[in-house]
Amino acid sequence: MAALPMPFRHSEGRQNAVLVCLVTLWLLFIANGVDAQGWRDHRVVGPFVCQADFPLVEYDHVFSELGQIQQELTARLGLPPAQEPIAIYLFETERRYRDYLRQQFPDVPYRRALFYKDQGPGVVLAYRSSQLEVDLRHECTHALLHASLPMVPLWLDEGLAEYFEVPAAERASENPHHSAIKWNMRFGMVPELKRLESWQRLDEMGRSEYRYAWAWAHFLLHGPPQARQTLQAYFADVAAHAPPGQVSDRLARVYADPEGALVEHFKRFR
């Protein structure tokens, strides 16, 4: 994931007005030229401006969920709303998706779906696979985080995306990671948060690392009130451009043994 520039800061009312203007300009662009690119359908939900080369009607419920993820990030974690529009490009076939990536993002490693951000607004790209709904929730969570904050550590970025990639009714107890992490802990495999915080690149993460990142995100969202308050305070400092330090250091001021608190959380959580 590309490094982010420091965002421009506005009052909340001005932020909303700027976002509306940017989305309006994007819609004018759609109306005046997207057919030449082969786009057949589009949707606008909150900061998201989606273009697709296939009809989107069967995915309307997913676009509603994306708006709900934005609301949940704001209500539960105190994140400011997205400060800029987020483009979504969807392709009916993997071949068209690969061709587009080669033309527009030749230096980006291939993935089934991805979020990319450099100096401008973020872009989500995916194709119509059997996992498109999961991919949209996952990558658009990345996009919302990076449209709201100047920086998100890799482990937390991926942990929250893994958390929000499943439908809302399944997030607390039915994520596929849930049973796996409990088995890990039964065999003494407890993810140390400081090790997660050392990750700098996606190629350092495999299946287990995504599961561990999810576990800590779940603890911070569903654990004791002090856990969520710790995450809220961390994000508040990030949003204010204040040095946030490490989440592990903050948790160590609240828990004598943060990893032990994580294990207890999953023992008790149903």
Residue range(s) defining the domain that contains residue 117: 12-150
- Give all strands of the β-sheet with 86-91 in edge-to-edge order: 41-45, 48-52, 86-91, 123-127, 113-116
DSSP per residue, 132-198: HHHHHHHHHHHHHHHHH-S---HHHHHHHHHHHTS-GGGTTT--THHHHHHHHHHTT----HHHHHT
The domain boundary residue, chosen from 98, 122, 150 = 150
Could you state, in chain order, the average pLDDT of each consecutive group of 10 residues for the chain (270 residues)? 31 45 49 61 96 98 96 96 95 97 93 93 97 99 97 98 97 94 93 96 93 98 97 98 98 97 92
Residue 26 lies in a domain: yes
Structural domain count, the chain:
2
Specify the pLDDT at position 22: 52
Burial 5-20 (b: 16+ CB within 10 A, else e): eebeeeeeeebeeebe
- The helix/strand/coil state of 115 is strand
Specify the pLDDT at position 269: 86
The domain boundary residue, chosen from 116, 150, 184 = 150
Residue type, 85: P
The domain boundary residue, chosen from 122, 150, 178 = 150
- Quote the DSSP letter at residue 118: S
**Same structural domain, 33 and 122:** yes
Cross-strand bridge partners of residue 45: 48
Specify the pLDDT at position 197: 97
- The helix/strand/coil state of 88 is strand
**Same structural domain, 193 and 126:** no
**Same structural domain, 132 and 208:** no
**Same structural domain, 101 and 37:** yes
Residue 5 lies in a domain: no
Residue 155 lies in a domain: no
Specify the pLDDT at position 119: 82
Report CA-CA distances (Å) from 70 to 144, 193, 227. Answer: 7, 26, 21
Identify whether the C-beta of residue 122 lies closer than 8 Å to the C-beta of residue 147.
yes
**Same structural domain, 112 and 201:** no
Query: CA-CA distance, 113 to 33, in Å (whole number)?
Result: 25
Residue 52 lies in a domain: yes
**Same structural domain, 58 and 188:** no
* Residue bearing tokens 């990639």: 165
Query: CA-CA distance, 111 to 108, in Å (whole number)?
Result: 9
